[in-house]
């Protein structure tokens, strides 16, 4: 008789993700949908690998590491900012928690085989020295090319976007260094603004083209869409970022270890860049040690833009949105030697609406 070994295979990652999505739909998306100011869970769960908690700067999902994923912390109530989830409800059943943990574990990247390695008699992998100078030169060239493409994109954004999206913007900032966009997600859809190498998956492109699934209006707001010859450099820049990522991975696979990036050493495939205090880029710790959104002081005066809106309008203000409106009703416009109504006073009305 030969011994019989029984191997039980766990669910496939795709099946686990489907189950996790069903759990989110049942337990979470009543609040955490596309209109939420917090994390949007009404998306493919795999998108959470590029999303961080705003208050803490911690990665929501760290592939292969449930214990380090803030999603698990929020569901269990361990070491979190705020209340455990689901808000006001019972904790998730252990069966559902197990599925979520298994799904995160299934996302662990495969261990790369060192270049030039070979199997020893015991089955281990032995690595040999590899000359990585060609890979390093290729990476440097790709970074230089991406830097030039970024300058072209900055010029386009300066022309069309930074009037609203400057350093004082409550939305995404499109002025200055654009590398920050690879670590930022839309606060409405939780979709990353720029996914290196994935043009169609980048929310920046979706907003510029008015693609399905965006929140609000296409950009530039109230203006004509960007012409194809100006969209092309943006797409080329995103593609170039993907080529850098691939070159970094090739260098790491060759046994070079952590790749030295423009801002210091980075682990290839890691959950994202963090500030020195442990907060996500754009956030800084307050006196209580919590990560809060940081805005650089600006000399720009408030209310530097004017928006003319024909009221009333049939357009809704959106879900989970508060609108505060001040209207001015001028009289005697067009009178002889008048000042377009400004010489006759105005009736001011205040209004508040909630969507």
Question: What kind and span of H or E run contains 102?
Answer: helix 94-106
66 lies in the same domain as 169: no
- The total number of structural domains that make up the chain: 3
Q: Which has more pLDDT, 34 or 5? A: 34
Choose the weakest-confidence range: 117-126, 295-304, 335-344. Answer: 117-126
Written as six digits, the tokens of 268 are 């290839």
167 lies in the same domain as 252: yes
Helix axes 228-251, 133-160, angle to 10 degrees: 150
Domain boundary among 106, 141, 174: 106
- Predicted confidence (pLDDT) at residue 165 exceeds the cutoff of 50: yes
User: What pLDDT is recorded for position 58?
Assistant: 85
Mean pLDDT of all residues belonging to the chain: 75
- Predicted confidence (pLDDT) at residue 17 exceeds the cutoff of 70: yes
Rounded CA-CA distance 250/265 in Å is: 16
40 lies in the same domain as 167: no
176 lies in the same domain as 264: yes
Residue 117 lies in a domain: no
Residue 299 lies in a domain: no
Residue 250 lies in a domain: yes
Give the residue from 275, 287, 283 showing the smallest Cα distance to 55: 283
Q: What is the pTM of this model?
A: 0.43
239 lies in the same domain as 355: no
User: What pLDDT is recorded for position 40?
Assistant: 84
152 lies in the same domain as 258: yes
179 lies in the same domain as 217: yes
Rounded CA-CA distance 125/306 in Å is: 66
Give the residue from 311, 276, 272, 278 showing the smallest Cα distance to 79: 278
Domain extent, residue 59, equals 13-106
pLDDT band at 264 (very low <50, low <70, confident <90, very high): very low
Output the CA–CA distances (angstroms, integers) from residue 256 to 94, 126, 265, 303, 347, in the order listed: 41, 15, 12, 51, 70
The three-state secondary structure class of 312 is coil
Choose the weakest-confidence range: 5-9, 81-85, 287-291, 295-299. Answer: 5-9
pLDDT band at 166 (very low <50, low <70, confident <90, very high): confident
Average pLDDT on 126-151 reads: 78
Domain boundary among 90, 106, 122: 106
User: What pLDDT is recorded for position 235?
Assistant: 92
118 strand-pairing partners = 126
175 lies in the same domain as 258: yes
96 lies in the same domain as 148: no
Burial, 275: exposed, middle or buried (Cβ in 10 Å; 0-12, 13-18, 19+)? middle
User: What pLDDT is recorded for position 259?
Assistant: 54
Residue 63 lies in a domain: yes
Average pLDDT on 120-149 reads: 69
Residue 120 lies in a domain: no
User: What pLDDT is recorded for position 237?
Assistant: 92
Residue 300 lies in a domain: no
Residue 248 lies in a domain: yes
144 lies in the same domain as 48: no
User: What pLDDT is recorded for position 182?
Assistant: 81
Domain boundary among 268, 291, 326: 268
Average pLDDT on 252-267 reads: 55
195 lies in the same domain as 314: no
Residue 124 lies in a domain: no
Q: For 192-224, what is each residue's pLDDT tens digit? A: 899 988 888 899 999 999 888 888 888 888 788
186 lies in the same domain as 246: yes
- Predicted confidence (pLDDT) at residue 324 exceeds the cutoff of 90: no
- Predicted confidence (pLDDT) at residue 311 exceeds the cutoff of 70: no
């Amino acid at each position: 008789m030969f011994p019989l070994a029984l191997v039980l295979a766990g669910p496939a990652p795709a099946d686990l993700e489907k189950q996790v999505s069903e759990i989110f739909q049942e337990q979470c998306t009543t609040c955490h949908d596309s209109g939420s100011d917090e994390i949007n869970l009404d998306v493919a769960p795999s998108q959470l690998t590029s999303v961080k908690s705003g208050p803490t700067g911690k990665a929501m999902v760290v592939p292969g590491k449930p214990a380090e994923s803030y999603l698990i912390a929020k569901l269990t109530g361990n070491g979190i900012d705020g209340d455990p989830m689901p808000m006001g409800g019972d904790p998730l059943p252990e069966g559902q928690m197990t599925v979520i943990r298994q799904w995160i574990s299934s996302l662990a990247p495969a261990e790369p085989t060192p270049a030039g390695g070979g199997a020893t008699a015991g089955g281990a992998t032995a690595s040999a020295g590899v000359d990585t100078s060609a890979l390093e030169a290729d990476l440097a060239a790709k970074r230089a090319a991406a830097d030039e493409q970024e300058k072209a994109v900055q010029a386009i954004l300066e022309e069309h976007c930074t009037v609203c999206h400057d350093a004082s913007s409550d939305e995404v900032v499109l002025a200055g260094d654009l590398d920050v966009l690879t670590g930022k997600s839309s606060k409405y859809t939780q979709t990353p603004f720029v996914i290196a190498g994935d043009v169609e998956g980048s929310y920046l492109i979706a907003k510029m083209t008015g693609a399905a699934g965006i929140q609000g209006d296409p950009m530039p707001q109230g203006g004509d869409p960007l012409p194809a010859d100006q969209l092309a450099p943006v797409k080329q820049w995103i593609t170039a970022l993907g080529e850098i990522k691939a070159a970094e991975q090739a260098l790491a696979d060759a046994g070079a270890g952590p790749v030295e990036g423009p801002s210091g050493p980075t682990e290839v495939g890691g959950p994202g860049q963090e500030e020195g205090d442990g907060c996500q880029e754009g956030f800084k710790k307050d006196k209580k040690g919590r990560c809060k959104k940081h805005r650089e002081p600006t000399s720009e005066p408030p209310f530097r833009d004017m928006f003319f809106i024909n009221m009333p309008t049939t357009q809704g203000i959106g879900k989970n949105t508060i609108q505060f409106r001040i209207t001015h009703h001028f009289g005697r416009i067009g009178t002889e030697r008048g000042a377009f109504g400004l010489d006759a006073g105005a009736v001011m009305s205040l209004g508040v609406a909630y969507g």
